[in-house]
Amino acid sequence: MRQTAGTLNRTWLTILGVLVVAVGAALLLQANGTLHTLLDTARPRTSVVTGDLHAFFAQPWVAATMLIIGVIIGVLGLLWVIAQIPRKNPAGDYRLHDDASQGFTLCDPSVLSTAVEKQINTLPGVITSAALLRGTARAPDLTLKVTVNDRADVQEVIHRIQTSTLPELANALEVPLQRSGLQIDVSGRTQSTGTVVQSTGTVVY
């Protein structure tokens, strides 16, 4: 149900990995003299920096620059850590109007999610369910988590969701679902309520 920063992690790890490999390769080439031959860089095992470094780092602007760079890297790192927190990222209000000049039609996606949950909860074997809508009213994205008991026919539940629940949501929104995800959990809990029984029998007192 919750989204993690998988894409962000892959992107930044790829960028950092490529940078580290490139720097490492450059250092190796420099160390064995290949870079000196190719690009006329400094000779291997010779001192590149000459002079007094203490005097250089004693200048106030160098310390300030280092501090700023450090803070920037620290903030970026912190943002990356914060991005690791799983988020639901629910959609904002769905806009269901075609012509805004006549008025707006708004629907909170949680209203639709609740309707979907109510429908799924009536399926045989379903203990509880949670629905989450993302995307827009024109391109809705539904994520479902359904908990069934251990006696439930999971294939039947999936079939009923695919042939009844999802088409009905698409019918209500009048657009096909862009994506739908279904997570099934099995629980040992029993259903807390019974089943509707249409009885026509005789009651004997």
Partner 1 sequence: MNPQGTHALTVSGDGYAGADLGETGTRGQTVLAAKVIEKIAGQVASDESSAGGASGGFLGIGASADLSARPKASVELAGNIATLRVEVGMLYPAPLRQATEELRRRIATRVTELTGVDVRQVDIRISWLTTGTKSNGRRKLL
Q: Report the alpha-carbon distance of residue 4 to residue 77 in Å, rounded.
A: 17
* 200 belongs to the binding site for partner 1 (CB under 8 A): no
Q: Report the alpha-carbon distance of residue 30 to residue 36 in Å, rounded.
A: 7
Q: Report the residue from 104, 201, 202, 204 that binds partner 1 according to the rule CB under 8 A.
A: 104
CA 24 to chain centre: 33
Of 130, 110, 88, 91, nearest to 3 by C-alpha is 88
What is the signed CA dihedral for 49, 50, 53, 54, rounded to 10 degrees?
Answer: 160
Number of residues lying near partner 1 (CB under 8 A): 34
How near is the Cβ of 91 to partner 1 at its closest, in Å? Answer: 14
Q: Of the ranges 20-28, 29-37, 94-102, 153-161, which one interacts with partner 1 (CB under 8 A)?
A: 94-102
* 171 belongs to the binding site for partner 1 (CB under 8 A): yes
Q: Of the ranges 39-47, 52-60, 72-80, 100-108, which one interacts with partner 1 (CB under 8 A)?
A: 100-108
* 50 belongs to the binding site for partner 1 (CB under 8 A): no
* 51 belongs to the binding site for partner 1 (CB under 8 A): no
In the 8-state DSSP scheme, what is residue 48?
-
Q: Report the alpha-carbon distance of residue 162 to residue 1 in Å, rounded.
A: 18
For partner 1, the binding residues (CB under 8 A) are 96-98, 101-108, 111-112, 114-115, 117-119, 121-122, 168-169, 171-174, 191-197, 199
